[in-house]
Amino acid sequence: YAVHTDVGNKAIEAYVNKEKVSLLHQLKTGDIVRIETGDEIIPRCSWINVLKTSKAKYEQKRICRAKEKEINRKLAVAILSTIFDLDTFKIRALIKANNLCETIPKIVDDKNFLKEVVKKIYQTIKKRNILYFKNIKLKEYIFGNIRVLSNKPVSDIRFHYCCHPKVGDKILGLLDKKEVEIHHRFCNNAEKKIDKAVFVEWIRNTQNRYFLVVTLQNKKGELAKFVSFLSKLGIFIHAIT
């Protein structure tokens, strides 16, 4: 960012003293740095707190605000599309008909507003199509410290390994049959497949649920020792794969 805003916004690889390093690598006086850039601006919203300069923080916050608006709009349409079993083109038309274009992103973080919007759209559909008799009733599901709101049956949630959302991060839920995949809202993998989405949010709970990847030695008793260790820490094991 000190060299040029575009270098910071489009950086994809870093080399320090001819060795490839992470873009978060800390520099020392005398280091020779080469940055490879791509063609597109890349939001790195989870990095903001570890960036050092005010210019870097300002630029990433600006990019992430714009990106969040874009994602929230896509997610809102996907949630409504899943609820009503209608394609995104029809949902967008219904959003426009109800003068919700500006406020529709709000439904991804406000379950009460989502319920209001669902009622409005349902009434519009019934007026236009007398054959639409589907009963739209949103049911609340609680899994650990995650609340899911859906009119589709949900049996469980799973935190996806690609983005590791932690408690308090902005999240989204993708419906896969009867399970909901929980992703960080800025997850690139999730954004590519936002089609069947449901409303999800964190709830205050004394228990936090995490997806943990562990490597153990391949010998007898190692798993039992590890499970015993977790038990001593008062950790409840939901499932082991």
List the chain pLDDT tens, one digit each, 241 residues.
Answer: 989 999 999 999 999 999 999 998 999 999 999 999 999 998 888 788 888 889 999 999 999 999 899 999 999 999 999 999 999 999 999 999 999 999 999 999 999 999 999 999 999 988 887 566 667 889 999 988 899 999 999 999 988 778 878 888 899 999 999 999 999 998 888 888 898 999 999 987 656 667 788 889 999 999 999 999 998 988 888 888 8
Query: Can you give the pTM of this predicted structure?
Result: 0.76
Query: Which residue carries 């007026």 as its tokens?
Result: 127
pLDDT at 34: 96
How does DSSP classify residue 198? E
Q: Which pLDDT score is estimated for 211?
A: 72
* β-pairing verdict for 11-16 and 139-143: unpaired
* Structure token pair of residue 132: 């639409």
- The residues near 202 (Cβ < 8 Å, ≥ 6 apart) are 145, 146, 147, 167, 168, 171
Instruction: State the alpha helices, DSSP H only, in the chain.
Output: 5-10, 54-84, 88-97, 111-128, 188-192, 222-232
188 contacts: CB under 8 Å, gap ≥ 6: none
Spatial distance between the Cα atoms of 226 and 212, rounded to a whole number of angstroms: 12
Q: Which of 147, 145, 146, 125 is nearest to 136 (CA)?
A: 125
- Confidence at residue 168, expressed as pLDDT on a 0 to 100 scale: 82
**In whole angstroms, what is the distance from residue 141 CA to residue 205 CA?**
14
Interatomic CA distance for residues 163 and 1, integer angstroms: 25
Neighbours of 213 (CB within 10 A): 6
pLDDT at 130: 59
What is the C-alpha separation between 106 and 186, in angstroms, rounded? 16
Alpha carbon distances (Å) from 63 to 21, 26, 48, 54, 231: 24, 23, 11, 14, 43
CA atoms within 13 A on the CB side of 169: 20
Cα–Cα distance, 87 to 112 (Å, whole number): 23
Partners of residue 36 on adjacent β-strands? 13
Q: How many Å apart are CA 213 and CA 6, to the nearest integer?
A: 36
State how far the Cα of 137 lies from the Cα of 115, in Å rounded to an integer. 9
- Greatest extent of the chain over all pairs of C-alpha atoms, in Å: 74
